[in-house]
Amino acid sequence: MIHLKNMWMNGWGSMLKEDFPLLLKEPIVYLDSAASAQKPQTVLESIDSFYRSSYANIHRGQCSLAVRATEAYENARRTVADFIHANTNEIVFTKGTTESINLIASGYAQLLYPGDEVLVCIAEHHADFVPWQQACLRSGATFKVFDVLPSGKIDLADFQAKLSHKTKIVAMTHISNVLGMINPVRKISELAHQVGAKVLIDGAQSIAHIPVDIKDIDCDFLAFSGHKLYGPTGIGVLYGKKEALESLPPYQFGGDMIRRVTVEGTTFADVPARFEAGTTPFVETVGLAEAIRYVQRIGMEKIADHERFLTRNFLDQLQAVSGVLLVGESNEKHGIVSFNIKDIHPADIAFALAQEHICVRVGHHCAMPIHHRFGQELSLRVSFGLYNDESDISVFVNALKKAITLLRGN
């Protein structure tokens, strides 16, 4: 086996770029994988080939195409389950992280009562903040928010002070899409379970970047999106412990989620089918399964090491640039770095970088509360994927220095 350092020296990221047709075709430096990841050839081929060879609606027909399509869908569920060490009946296919979280929160809106509490972190993406705020508004439960430290690490003391027997659910991101910190999700689960609360982990930014094992985390729910995992858009996953899923009311009503419908009333299918109403994005599940096989062939540990190495390297170079203000002071970030440059609007820098064909993200990254907490309403965000390499970092840092000189007018 090649040692990672040697692989890195030999340009591991550059080698993998060759698997991504768009990165080969476009003269760009793509540093926006936290928004969405590029797609490898093998994923594109799996989708194309499914439409050409196995396409028919699932779970309905007897013809060979329908049988093949249904098998592919259920095999994709097995691939997802194995990837995070879950059982197949604990995997619900959704449209993405946002829908997965809305599914749980809209269920909780019917299960919570005044006096109950929901506890979320200030660093949540709006997708894991607003649905809980709304569930509390609808149910009369109390919405509570725990803090992070100036480093960007979660404030465990604040979490423990706010956690109580009134807490029914704790919702927290595994890796913040702004701070880039890997949160101590196992510890959070353990503490939350001690007071009888359920735990939802937003895995949107961890699933493609570090090994994610739900047995180890021991969370009740995990949500993630296919498109950030080198898979297609329009497909996501909600993992739920069987009893946790069974405690939720259905999210949408329609075909495929029922057991029996009569004029008098309807009974519902078992989980996970109960949460998969209508025609699901079944072709996209095939693309997602292929994306999972792709990252598994490389190895999640290796991907994590590579991106950790890139992030450290990037932070070293970035912090040598004058006027850099990180959102969250810690250097222990993983794959995501948000920052500002003193006295320059981040949109001006992003515009200058775009002229050099560098893709980064500027804005609040759908996480206004954490920006507000750090007194920086917007930021520039650089995020890595497995295809990035040292040359991407040096192109970025040189372009950043050039933009600063230009914008400062010296």
Catalytic residues: 366
Q: Which of 372, 369, 371, 349 is nearest to 361 (CA)?
A: 349
Number of chain residues interacting with ligand PMP (CB under 6 A): 15
- Closer CB to ligand PMP, 202 or 307, in the complex: 202
Do you know the residue count of the chain? 410
Using rule CB under 6 A, residue 205 touches ligand PMP = yes
Using rule CB under 6 A, residue 280 touches ligand PMP = no
Using rule CB under 6 A, residue 231 touches ligand PMP = no
Give dist(CA 297, CA 239) in Å, integer. Answer: 23
What are 52's two structure tokens?
A: 């050409």
Residue with tokens 């965000």: 381
Using rule CB under 6 A, residue 98 touches ligand PMP = yes
DSSP 270: P
Q: How far is the CB of 1 from ligand PMP (least distance, A)?
A: 32
Q: Which stretch binds ligand PMP (CB under 6 A): 66-74, 80-88, 201-209, 339-347?
A: 201-209
Q: Is 54 left (phi over 0), alpha (psi -120 to 50) or beta?
A: alpha
Give dist(CA 364, CA 380) in Å, integer. Answer: 9
Q: Which of 19, 202, 284, 307 contacts ligand PMP by CB under 6 A?
A: 202
| Residues 6+ away with beta carbon under 8 Å from 213 | 84, 85
Q: Which of 70, 97, 139, 311 contacts ligand PMP by CB under 6 A?
A: 97
- Closer CB to ligand PMP, 167 or 225, in the complex: 225
Give dist(CA 381, CA 336) in Å, integer. Answer: 7
Q: Is the dihedral of CA 262, 267, 271, 277 positive or negative?
A: positive
Using rule CB under 6 A, residue 96 touches ligand PMP = yes
Strand 117-121 with 91-94, pairing: unpaired
Read out DSSP for 172-217?
Answer: EESB-TTT-BBP-HHHHHHHHHHTT-EEEEE-TTTTTTS---HHHH
Using rule CB under 6 A, residue 225 touches ligand PMP = yes
Q: Which of 38, 70, 79, 173 contacts ligand PMP by CB under 6 A?
A: 173
Using rule CB under 6 A, residue 139 touches ligand PMP = no
Q: How far is the CB of 226 from ligand PMP (least distance, A)?
A: 8
Q: Which of 32, 116, 128, 307 contacts ligand PMP by CB under 6 A?
A: 128
Using rule CB under 6 A, residue 32 touches ligand PMP = no
Using rule CB under 6 A, residue 144 touches ligand PMP = no
Using rule CB under 6 A, residue 385 touches ligand PMP = no
Q: How far is the CB of 68 from ligand PMP (least distance, A)?
A: 28
Task: For residue 98, give Cα distances in angstroms to 274, 285, 296.
Answer: 18, 17, 25
Using rule CB under 6 A, residue 145 touches ligand PMP = no
Residues binding ligand PMP (CB under 6 A):
34, 96-98, 125, 127-128, 173, 177, 202, 204-205, 225, 227, 366
